[in-house]
Amino acid sequence: MVDDSWKDARVRQAEEALAHAVRTADEIIAEAQRAVAPPASPEPPASPEDGPRPILRDAW
């Protein structure tokens, strides 16, 4: 078990600042990866022959 009794306010503040900096760096990297990633390809339009035939088409 680790005894943290030696840590004073300055050490705790430094640990919090470091944790915030790491979290910020992770967010920056994730944002950069999203910006570089190719956009998702859109779904191709559905062909009328693939789906059910509309009623009006049958009436013609």
Low-confidence residues in the chain, pLDDT < 50 = 1
HEC assignment per residue over 36-49: HCCCCCCCCCCCCC
Question: Which helix H or strand E contains 28, and what residues bound it?
Answer: helix 9-36
Q: Is the pTM of this model over 0.95?
A: no
Per-residue pLDDT, 24: 87
Distances (CA, A) of 35 to 14, 20, 27: 31, 23, 12
